Structure 1
């Protein structure tokens, strides 16, 4: 389960961008969070003007929605993606250094 709200928002915007007709239940399952948290996050994105939610007019299921990123949502997704990528690259570099150190220790090339 995700604990970082920024990561939740990042993954939510990213998934909605490619799956606009997703149900909240499917979205919750994909994100690995509760349905309540998904609903809360979606409402927050709608209130911020990052996502528009529209009912399907011709849908049998009156609770079916289409989620569309607004221009502000697309910009936010790009900014969040850049921050997320930087954080992941920093983590990668840190782990890479740790792995190299462990390999040296295993190969008897020096310890701590």
Structure 2
């Protein structure tokens, strides 16, 4: 299964936030996008939706990670960190190359 960065953001937010609107505000995406992602995560068995027992609005749900969802959240977090480490290493190598070529000193001196 392939997951996106948005999936990870939603999975990470569910622990703290339980409404689609607050998840959307937290991660910076529209409520429609969050709804779409949540439906997909529910279909994959990563998230479950429950009605609030004492809430008058029966259309409002609280979202909970399933055991499978917790495992996938950990897996996605590890992959995300690994990807960011690779990006960092590539940027460091690029910077070192520019320093070795003297471009860094020239550029820094012209600022």
TM-score between the two structures when normalised by the length of structure 1: 0.80
**Partner residue of 2:64 out of 54, 68, 71:** 68
| Structure 1 residue 63, shift from structure 2 partner | 2.7
**Partner residue of 1:83 out of 79, 83, 89:** 79
Within 2, Cα distance between the matches of 1:102 and 1:25?
A: 45
Match of 2:10 in 1: 12
Match of 1:98 in 2: 94
**Aligned-residue CA RMSD (Å):** 1.7
Within 2, Cα distance between the matches of 1:106 and 1:92?
A: 18
Number of equivalenced pairs: 102
| Structure 1 residue 72, shift from structure 2 partner | 0.6
Within 2, Cα distance between the matches of 1:57 and 1:93?
A: 49
List alignment gaps of at least 5 residues for structure 2.
Answer: 107-111
Within 2, Cα distance between the matches of 1:95 and 1:29?
A: 31
Q: Is the 8 A contact 2:19 2:63 kept in 1?
A: no
Q: Which runs of 4+ in 1 moved over 4 A?
A: none
| Structure 1 residue 22, shift from structure 2 partner | 2.5
Within 1, Cα distance between the matches of 2:80 and 2:25?
A: 21
Asked if residue 51 in structure 1 is aligned to residue 47 in structure 2, the reply is yes
| Structure 1 residue 107, shift from structure 2 partner | 2.2
User: Higher Cα Rg: structure 1 or 2?
Assistant: 2
**Partner residue of 1:25 out of 7, 10, 21:** 21
